Amino acid sequence: MKRLVQGNEAIFLGALKAGASFFAGYPISPSSEILILAAQHAARDPGFKFIQSEDELAAANAIIGASLAGAKSFTATSGPGFTLMQEAIGYAHEVEVPTVFVDLQRVGPATGMPTMPAQQDIVQTNYGSSGDYYPLAFYPNSVEECYRYAVAAFDAAEESLSPVILLGDAFVGHLNEVVDLDAIEVEVVPRSRPPLGTGKRFFTGLAHDEQGNPSTADAVVYKDWLAKVKARHEKVAARYSDFEFKGNTSSDTLLISCGIVSRVIAPLASQFAMFRPIRIFPMLGDELREHAAGYQRIVVIEANDGQYACLVERQLKREVIRVPLLGGRINLDLAKKGLSEKLGSEVA
Amino acid sequence: MFKDLLKLELFPTTWCPGCGIGQIMIQLAMVMDELGLDHTNSTVISGVGCTGRLAGYFNVDGVYTLHGRTLPVAEAVKLVNPGLKVIVASGDGDLASIGGNHLLHAARRNPDLTVLCNENQVYALTGGQAGPTTPRDTSTTSTPAGAPYDPVNLQNVMKSGAKYFYARTTVYHQVHLRKCIKEAIAWPGFAFVDIVCHCIENNGRRLGFNSAYEMLQHFRKTYKRAPDDAETLEPLEIGIVRKG
């Protein structure tokens, strides 16, 4: 049935569709709707478990415990809470725990501008925890995609045995659009690992050998483990190389944007070519290079001071033009103004 | 046999000679054996520090969590799988300092968890720094002039809840230790066992003890049994206080 659905609700319903049965979270704007929906759902369905945690550290670790115990689990947070969760994200990578972290970005650092949208957790998503790890992350830009990629996040988590990040922003989370969620066909991947209470395994945040026994001073064991995990993540990532590209033969300029910014600047497609990454991490490489090849100027327009632009530069090995939209002001006029200044010609 | 519950192939353990954690491990294994707990119906979860390694020696699915995060993990495990007996074993630094907020709130929510706290009164693994349970004036590597603060009162923290189970025992009093673990596992809620334990290598020698044996004798002499009907344990008493 077609109806008006909010982005946050679509994320929650996507999680349910994927088979999630556990949510732990700590209230924080602009993600609190997801926590409230989870609480309401738990009150109706005794099979769905809910904890309102004492802080984000507890929430992040609770979803890890729930996953080990056999539930598909998730949490939802925003910038400062996501920072507190980074420790647990690193742990989940070390222990190879499938779970999902939803992060709806707001203006930071710190408490920043709690209700204003941003894209300032891009780097944090990829590099926020200690050590080397290879996170998978999706960044939808519509209510329908919130649903679709919530399911994909749970699927990819099970396939990669790792925590997957579903990025959004205050605008995408609070976007209301008419969609028919029942008509969206998705694939659901079953649980990948037997739950606690079925074996004699040891799940440890220490470096460990194949049996799970701690191995804290053997470089060979560590490198073998890292190579195995990296290969698995690359393989899973290849299955989700999702992006949107609209070429423009009359333009020499490619605009790269994601999330809410891509929606806001959509009217500029008549003047520029457009590229939008959806699987935001691991970075799209060949896809970016192939579609950027025909364009003289590459512009990354984003609601931060060049976080994604830096990563695009590294992939393309050429300079990109940065158009930052800062302070939670994301609109077409500001985007045109920024583009006009950086491109040296009026963008109408 | 309780030995079947332990991964003997990993012995000798990582702990220093004379360490008291082995006693906690053996007594827990004996109680689990007595209660019929094994890999099909129980899990052992521990945090970071010397005691953190304990879970890895049990022949059940075990989890070694992040530092301080045993309780959020354990509480979620119990919620998802209520049929599983969930036993948390960790140090005082892990449970009462870096995990202190979780201790406060897990106790308040009162999930059916058994928590064994190795109270060795020091950060042992990192080299003998003062911890949340270090007695005032004790010399440690981070308090060369003596610990300036009083230790956290774990009994009072537990008793701040409407329902609680708090046991204090020592690794010297093995029969009592076993009784406390057994009753904690049987308790239908959050049960906290405060196990006073010696650390000879990173605490005891600095305090003037020559051996683990001397520290155990010190526990024997200083800790007395509280009356069975005690509502509060005095500072050097072992016993159990509870309210269901």
A56/A74 Cα distance (integer angstroms): 12
Residues A266 and A123 in one domain: no
Q: What is the CATH number of the domain that holds A302?
A: 3.40.50.920
Would you call B31 an interface residue with chain A, using a CB distance cutoff of 8 Å?
A: no
Domain count, chain A: 2
Three-state secondary-structure class, residue B90: strand
Contacts with A71 from chain B: Cβ below 8 Å: 80
Please say which residue of A224, A239, A254 terminates a domain.
A239
Of A57, A196, A199, the CB nearest to B77: A196
Residue A99 distance to chain B (closest CA, Å): 13
Enclosing domain of residue A289: 246-343
Contacts with A58 from chain B: Cβ below 8 Å: 69, 71-72, 101-102, 105
A204/A208 Cα distance (integer angstroms): 7
Asked whether the beta carbons of residue A21 and residue B80 sit closer than 8 angstroms, the reply is yes
Residues A269 and A224 in one domain: no
Peptide bond preceding A109: is omega within 30 degrees of 0, i.e. cis? yes
pLDDT tens for residues A277-308? 999 999 999 999 999 999 999 999 999 999 99
Three-state secondary-structure class, residue A288: helix
Residue A11 forms part of a structural domain: yes
What residues in chain A have per-residue pLDDT under 70? none
Amino acid making up residue A316: L
- For residue A168, the surrounding DSSP H or E stretch is strand A163-169
Residues A105 and A141 in one domain: yes
Residues A30 and A84 in one domain: yes
B25/B45 Cα distance (integer angstroms): 12
Residue with tokens 């290879």: A134
Nearest CA in chain A to B75: A62
Q: Where are the alpha helices (DSSP H) in chain B?
A: 21-35, 70-80, 92, 100-109, 154-159, 174-186, 212-222
Please give the CATH architecture assigned to the domain spanning B17-228+235-243. 3-Layer(aba) Sandwich (3.40)
Residue A94 forms part of a structural domain: yes
Residues A68 and A195 in one domain: yes
A179/A221 Cα distance (integer angstroms): 49
User: pLDDT at position A347, please?
Assistant: 94
Among residues A91, A127, A123, the alpha carbon closest in space to that of A108 is found at A123
Of A54, A88, A206, the CB nearest to B102: A54
Residues A176 and A305 in one domain: no
Residues A287 and A235 in one domain: no
Residues A295 and A188 in one domain: no
Contact present, A141 and A259 (Cβ < 8 Å): yes
Backbone φ, ψ for residue B235 (5° rounding): -50, -40
pLDDT tens for residues A120-150? 999 999 999 999 999 999 999 999 999 999 9
Contact present, A116 and A327 (Cβ < 8 Å): yes
User: pLDDT at position A211, please?
Assistant: 87
Please, what is the angle between helix A56-68 and helix B70-80, to 10°?
Answer: 50
Backbone φ, ψ for residue B172 (5° rounding): -75, -45
Residues A202 and A322 in one domain: no
Residues A339 and A269 in one domain: yes
- Give the global pTM: 0.98
End-to-end C-alpha distance for chain B, whole angstroms: 33
Contact present, A190 and A158 (Cβ < 8 Å): yes
Residue A348 forms part of a structural domain: no
One-character DSSP codes across B193-207: EEEE---IIIIITTT
B176/B167 Cα distance (integer angstroms): 10
Contact present, B78 and B114 (Cβ < 8 Å): no
Contacts with A94 from chain B: Cβ below 8 Å: none
Contacts with B69 from chain A: Cβ below 8 Å: 57-58, 61, 88, 91
Contacts with A201 from chain B: Cβ below 8 Å: 61-62
Contact present, B105 and B62 (Cβ < 8 Å): no
Asked whether the beta carbons of residue A65 and residue B74 sit closer than 8 angstroms, the reply is yes
**Cα dihedral sign, A344-A285-A289-A137:** negative
Please say which residue of A239, A264, A283 terminates a domain.
A239
Residue A144 DSSP code: H
Angle at A299 between CA A294 and CA A304, to 5 degrees: 150
Please say which residue of A239, A272, A297 terminates a domain.
A239
Residues A131 and A256 in one domain: no
A238/A282 Cα distance (integer angstroms): 9
Residues A181 and A279 in one domain: no
A76/A56 Cα distance (integer angstroms): 10
Would you call B94 an interface residue with chain A, using a CB distance cutoff of 8 Å?
A: no
Asked whether the beta carbons of residue A198 and residue B39 sit closer than 8 angstroms, the reply is yes
Domain limits, chain B:
17-228+235-243
Residue with tokens 């922003």: A169
Q: What is the CATH number of the domain that holds A63?
A: 3.40.50.970
What residues in chain B have per-residue pLDDT under 50? none
